Structure 1
């Protein structure tokens, strides 16, 4: 009973921090197999966050999503499932190491990234695949169309996560506008390492269930562009979601961290 209450307190702590997750309000079910890189990060077998399998033994997520691990509660990653209840094809692996970005700040939300190492390499197949890091780390232009995926809450009146993986279309918004009084008013400051994205009216799509999930943007090609980081007010129409942009420096940190931890067993990250 204590563990259940404690896990609930962790989820509430994430929520109060304003960085919990992406709620796919008004989203649609993802076509089976198209989200094979998605990871459900679970605390004592309860879904708390999303993540992306970028290497057979590594998941990229937001720094907030490593909280359970550092609280020494059983932290696992579920791969290869469209439904959180139906795990016929799923692989469940233990998290044995977590590395938030060394310059992560809870106050400013800067560098809100983390890597999770799994206890063994996932078996890659048609249900479980890695997602390549972006080859181009150029900034994503405002107006670019993107998709975000997650198992997050689908109804503002229901705190439960979605059973099925969902996605929704978003549009990248100018940082200047996102930093204006209309939106975030520099609290926090949306930096060049962040992307601000919402629907056609700039409304929020983040709340409870999928921080750490991937933002896939349609540039010349579809590419992995960012990580769902935070949302200050789930219900506000003027608080778009904020994503950590996979910049040159972040991609370098990701690759170097994995190489350092894997040593002679290192297999390159695409």
Structure 2
């Protein structure tokens, strides 16, 4: 989902990538576009999770490590994805084509959802949540957790970020993608992000929000990608979860980059939820 001028509008990370496509992550065929995106290479986003209700995808999430075990029962998503309840929620890890789940896909029932206590659905402040699963997801060659940033870690402006998901391939589209898509977008500075959204009557909080996209638009997340991961490679070249798909005005519009929950601002809260909820924290 995506919030537009205080109204909930479905949006999300669609995995849009253009000329910046890195062959290690994208398949060779570029005929499937998601607002400027390409099909992700199967297995290249082993941490991404499809949140589903009664078998239908509605949001993305990210599998995170909870302890030393090679398994986890916690995924991180957007608060607006679970704010209205999650009856029948399941989490599927290891998927690529949702219409043809392979043998390596692990689908687990959701047990408990916790959104940030200061989440505000009108302003989208603190748009982050965790889902405790009924049983752990096992780490395999195609299912792995993504690293979390350090508390209050900052991301340099213009750093290359990647977002992925099964959302719509264009604004106003009728169907989400069954294939996992990705897009490469640069990080936008907080002042530039605030200036872009000020005419829309939307306040940007640099502590809670992170922007990514192009001034000319054309590459963005869209409906169905909410809650999914935006990652930036760290000094060791390993992906780090820096953002969670939160909101925007439309999809891939010029001058209106995507807005993400800034994960580094919520590390203490995430860790507290792991301590309280997880059975795999040792």
TM-score range, shorter chain: 0.7 to 0.9
State the distance in 1 between where 2:53 and 2:108 align: 12
Q: Return the TM-score normalized by structure 2.
A: 0.81
| Structure 2 match to 1:32 | 42
State the distance in 2 between where 1:235 and 1:184 align: 17
Query: What is the root-mean-square deviation of aligned Cα atoms in Å?
Result: 2.4
Q: Return the TM-score normalized by structure 1.
A: 0.85
Whether the 8 Å CA contact 1:79–1:92 is kept in 2: the answer is yes
Structure 1 residue 167: Cα displacement: 0.8
Structure 1 residue 171: Cα displacement: 0.7
Q: Deviation string for 1:161-220 (max 9, x for gaps)?
A: 11111111101112112111x444451323222111103635562321110111111343
| Structure 2 match to 1:237 | 254
Q: Deviation string for 1:221-244 (max 9, x for gaps)?
A: 342211111112236322210011
| Structure 2 match to 1:82 | 96
Secondary structure class of the residue paired with 1:120: strand
2:276 is aligned, of 255, 260, 263, to: 260
| Structure 2 match to 1:51 | 61
Q: Deviation string for 1:119-152 (max 9, x for gaps)?
A: 1001221121111212464211211110101111
Structure 1 residue 32: Cα displacement: 1.4
| Structure 1 match to 2:143 | 128
Secondary structure class of the residue paired with 2:64: strand
More divergent stretch after superposition (111-120 vs 17-26): 17-26
1:191–1:42 CA distance, 2 compared to 1 (3 A): same
Which gives a bigger RCO, structure 1 or 2 (Cα 8 Å, sep 6+)?
A: 2
- How do residues 1-270 of structure 1 correspond to structure 2 at under 5 angstroms? 16-18=7-9, 20-23=11-14, 24-55=34-65, 56-67=72-83, 70=85, 73-88=87-102, 89-135=104-150, 137-156=152-171, 158-180=173-195, 182-185=196-199, 187-199=202-214, 201-202=216-217, 205-220=220-235, 221=237, 222-234=239-251, 236-247=253-264, 249-262=265-278, 265-267=279-281
Mark the runs of 5 or more structure 1 residues left unpaired by the alignment: 1-10
Structure 1 residue 64: Cα displacement: 1.1
State the distance in 1 between where 2:168 and 2:257 align: 16
State the distance in 1 between where 2:252 and 2:184 align: 18
1:157–1:246 CA distance, 2 compared to 1 (3 A): closer
Higher helix share: 1
State the distance in 2 between where 1:188 and 1:234 align: 19
1:128–1:12 CA distance, 2 compared to 1 (3 A): closer
Whether the 8 Å CA contact 2:46–2:142 is kept in 1: the answer is yes
| Structure 1 match to 2:21 | none
Secondary structure class of the residue paired with 1:111: coil
Give the total of aligned pairs: 252
Secondary structure class of the residue paired with 1:258: helix
Structure 1 residue 22: Cα displacement: 2.5
State the distance in 1 between where 2:262 and 2:234 align: 14
